[in-house]
Structure 1
Amino acid sequence: MPEVRGCTLPDDLLYDVPNNIWYRDNGDGTLTCGMTMIATGMAGQLVAFTAKKVGKTIKEGKSIATVESGKWVGPAKVGFEAEIVEVNDGLTADPKLANSDPYGAGWMVKVKPSDAGAAMGMLTPGSAVAEPYEAKMAADEFAGCA
Structure 2
Amino acid sequence: MASVRGCNIPEDLSYNVDNNVWARREADGTVTVGLTAYACSLAGEIVAYTPKKAGKDIAKDKSCATVESGKWVGPVKTPVTGSVIAVNDAVASKPGLINKDPYGEGWVVKMKPSDWDGESKSLKTGGDAVSAFEAKMDSEGFKGC
TM-score, normalisation: structure 2 = 0.95
Give the match for residue 64 of structure 1. 64
Question: Percent identity at matched positions?
Answer: 50
Tell me, yes or no, if structure 1 residue 128 matches structure 2 residue 136. Answer: no
Q: Matched residue of 2:137: which SS?
A: helix
Q: Displacement, 1:39?
A: 0.4
Q: Displacement, 1:7?
A: 0.5
Q: What is the rounded CA distance, in whole Å, between the counterparts of 1:27 and 1:58 in structure 2?
A: 21
Q: What is the rounded CA distance, in whole Å, between the counterparts of 1:43 and 1:8 in structure 2?
A: 16
2:3 aligned partner, one-letter code: E
Give the match for residue 111 of structure 1. 111
Tell me, yes or no, if structure 1 residue 15 matches structure 2 residue 24. Answer: no
Q: What is the rounded CA distance, in whole Å, between the counterparts of 2:92 and 2:45 in structure 1?
A: 14
| Dislocated runs of 4+, deviation >6 Å | none
Q: Displacement, 1:126?
A: 2.8
5+ residue gaps, structure 2, are: none
> C-alpha offsets along residues 25-45 of structure 1, whole Å, 9 cap, x if unaligned?
102121111110000000000
> C-alpha offsets along residues 95-135 of structure 1, whole Å, 9 cap, x if unaligned?
00011111111001011111111222121113431110011
- Aligned length in residues: 145
Q: Displacement, 1:22?
A: 1.1
Q: Matched residue of 2:11: which SS?
A: coil
Give the match for residue 55 of structure 2. 55
Q: Matched residue of 1:143: which SS?
A: coil
TM-score, normalisation: structure 1 = 0.94
Q: Displacement, 1:60?
A: 2.1
Q: Displacement, 1:15?
A: 1.1
